Amino acid sequence: MIVLGIDPGTATTGYGVIEKSQSGVKFIEFGLIETAKVVESHRRLAFIHNDIVEKINSFKPDVMAIEKIFFATNAKTAISVGQAIGVMLLAAAHTGINVAEYAPGTIKKQVAGDGRADKKAMQKAVREILGGQVNDLITKKTHFDNAADALAVALCHVYYQPSS
């Protein structure tokens, strides 16, 4: 099973692709989809949509796992991230792949073992799970900060087993 993990954003969307097989979890790729703040919002959303479609067509994932929006004090940010999630979900619908959405606490619990894990603990867990596969590719801190969240979403999908 190939999973495309998404950490949604308008300016920066992290993505991570992993493959789960009988032999374990294999890292495929991680990166960012970035849009300039000076570009009109509808053009930014179109760019995000097109890039997600490109990732889906390129990696042929079985599922896109996405982090659910977390409402904080900044409603404007929450609205713009919600719009970005909308175009990501539209990309999945147009390409025919399934979507799974996970709350931040669920992702942290499944990947780091603690629903309140901080960014550092999450990055450490992602590195431990994916090992040298990821460590050799990290070139700049912020790049991995954003993409680590997306890899964590993908890993959550692989590990998550809802209680019946």
pLDDT in tens, 105-162: 999 999 999 999 998 899 889 988 987 667 655 555 555 778 899 999 999 999 986 6
Could you tell me the residue ranges of all domains in the chain?
A: 2-159
CATH fold group of domain 2-159: Nucleotidyltransferase; domain 5 (3.30.420)
Spatial separation of the C-alpha atoms in residues 44 and 8, rounded to whole Å: 13
**pTM value > 0.85:** yes
pLDDT in tens, 3-50: 999 999 999 999 999 999 999 899 999 999 999 999 999 999 999 999
Is the distance from CB of 115 to CB of 160 less than 8 angstroms? no
